[in-house]
Copies of this chain bind each other. A is one copy, B any other.
Amino acid sequence: MVSQVKLYDTTLRDGTQGEGISLSVDDKLKIAQKLDHLGVKYIEGGWPGSNPKDMNFFEEAKNLSFHSAVITAFGSTRKPGVEAENDPNLQRILESGVEAAAIFGKAWDFHVEKALQTSLDENISMIYDSIRFLKEKGMEVIFDAEHFFDGYKHNQDYALKALTAAEEAGADCLVLCDTNGGSLPSEIADILKVVHARTTISTGIHCHNDGELAVANTLEAVKAGADHVQGTINGYGERCGNANLISIIPNLQMKMGIPCLKEEKLPQLTETAVYVHELANQTPPDSQPFTGKSAFAHKGGMHVSAVLKHPETYEHIEPEKIGNERRVLVSELSGQSNLMFKAEELGIPLDKTDPAVKEIMEKMKQMEHQGYQYEAAEASFELLIRNGLGENHDYFYLDHFKIIAEKENEGAISTEALVKMDIQGEKVMTAAEGNGPVNALDYALRKTIGEYYPLVHEMYLSDYKVRVLDEAEATASTVRVLIESSDGKETWSTIGVSGNIVEASWQALVDSIRFYFMKHADRLQKLESQPVHPGPGLQNH
């Protein structure tokens, strides 16, 4: 069994081939430093021979110092009929200044003849010459055998011949690529075992997730002797993605006892995954294994009390070990223990025997039956509890509002709202425009409240989700609105449900402001300003 694994990250190259993933050179440099900090051995920075933007990364990378990571360049074998020393692609690799390169070559005869349109022998020479050339320049060379598993299944001898050529040329590692992503774990294991037995040098694995098996395939390869693992952070990549290093690392290190990072670095895993998501402008999936927000989120009444007492019996690993944390969700499925736990988390001591608590739970179930989903709206939930306990956090009341949306001919639509509030006995009124009825109402509400309590200007809407609950009713359905608000430091979520989208949005908006005021009641001050005195004006007109 392999005693330790070297990680090879191709987020910056293969990862960016995924639809919707675009990284600037600056993003790539930041990610490279993050991965170096984590302890990834090889960081494939790009394909310098393919475009100048990729070369740019290598130029900039020369100005940074890495602790232990080896910045690697990706490139193809020399072109058919061209000498290695004259091949522009190989020249770019030298110019990039890297110490290591991953050269990919064809291992499937069909591809050689149809895609490359050259002879089987020439392809073998291309592999040999390219690797020999770079080795003579003193570089470390990894050979990525493209379509290896499919190639092996179709013409075993030829596939192995490609590897032999690479090894004889001095390659430091033979990486078998499941380029189409469709191999089964047993096929990976069988074939890699054969290859491993025939070579003295390092073998590696590069899988794709077309069968939702990339992680499993990678683990099988390591079991069969591979000590070099290629993948991307968060599984980015073409089609269904590359093998996800974030899932591979804890499986290898914590479940299989095969280290790939220094032990003290493991807790950086979650933060690394999130950091890369942020730079790649991706929303981290809540359900992402190991590092997702929901990976250790427990729902459902029966489990909760047990989880809280003995988490190890409900969790396959301790979340803290990879830098994540446990969460307990409140929902209609939950019993009283969920509610008590949540209230405690919120710092509101609840007495189980207090009849008010039973009422709060009844109210909660009732609301949830109408469509409220409190696990997604903790601020509304807290207000529900506190109101149920008799506290008052209203601060302002609606006198009335009016929203007007108008469109003339083919002209642009105009949407305006006027809002009149009763704030501590005073009437405050203003108007605003927006690009939708809710947007206009949102702006007008804040503007109005802001004329009394400027504190409202420190918060803003950061996310707005609408969910139609019973679509069969078409435009006349029940609507659930979830709002996320922020003050730049913290975020909180509120909810509104109604047959009317404006009403539902209104509820969520009002809750979001009331919650913020409640949390910062110490800073809630009336605006000092000159009162506006309208002149005598045109009376009774």
Residues of A within 8 A of B (CB): 17-20, 22, 24, 26, 50-51, 53, 76, 108, 110-111, 114-115, 147, 150, 180-186, 209-213, 215-216, 219-220, 223, 235, 238-241, 244, 247, 250-251, 255-256, 281, 285-290, 292-300, 302-303, 305-306, 309-310, 313-317, 329, 332-333, 369, 373, 375-376, 397-410, 412-413, 415, 434-439, 442, 460-472, 474-477, 479, 484, 498-503, 505-506
Contacts and interface: CB of A to CB of B under 8 A. Distances in A.
Nearest to A251: B211
Contact of A404 (B247, B404, B412): B404
How many identical chains are in the complex? 2
Contact of A215 (B110, B186, B213, B415): B213
9 contacts: A53-B369, A115-B310, A211-B250, A212-B290, A397-B409, A402-B404, A434-B476, A437-B501, A437-B502
Contacts of A24: 469-470
A114 B461 contact: no
Given A20-B286, A294-B19, A435-B500, A147 B238 contact: no
A456 to B, nearest CB: 15
Contact of A182 (B209, B255, B294, B410): B255
A108 B50 CA distance: 56
A111 B313 contact: yes
A248 to B, nearest CB: 8
A441 to B, nearest CB: 8
A306 B111 CA distance: 8
B407 A405 contact: no
Contacts of A250: 211
Given A398-B410, A437-B405, A474-B464, A240 B114 contact: no
A471 B467 CA distance: 13
B210 A295 contact: yes
Residue from the set A310, A313, A406 with the largest chain B CB neighbour count within 10 Å: A313
A225 to B, nearest CB: 15
A436 B108 contact: no
A398 B409 CA distance: 5
Nearest to A293: B19
B400 A18 contact: no
Contact of A316 (B53, B181, B373): B181
A289 to B, nearest CB: 4
Contact of A407 (B184, B186, B306, B398): B398
A239 B403 contact: no
Contacts of A472: 26, 462-463
A499 to B, nearest CB: 5
Contacts of A297: 19, 238-239
B470 A463 contact: no
Residue among A210, A220, A302, A467 with the highest chain B CB neighbour number at 10 A: A210
B239 A294 contact: yes
A472 B25 CA distance: 12
A309 B506 CA distance: 55
Contacts of A185: 185, 216, 219-220
Contacts of A460: 474
B403 A316 contact: no
A476 B405 contact: no
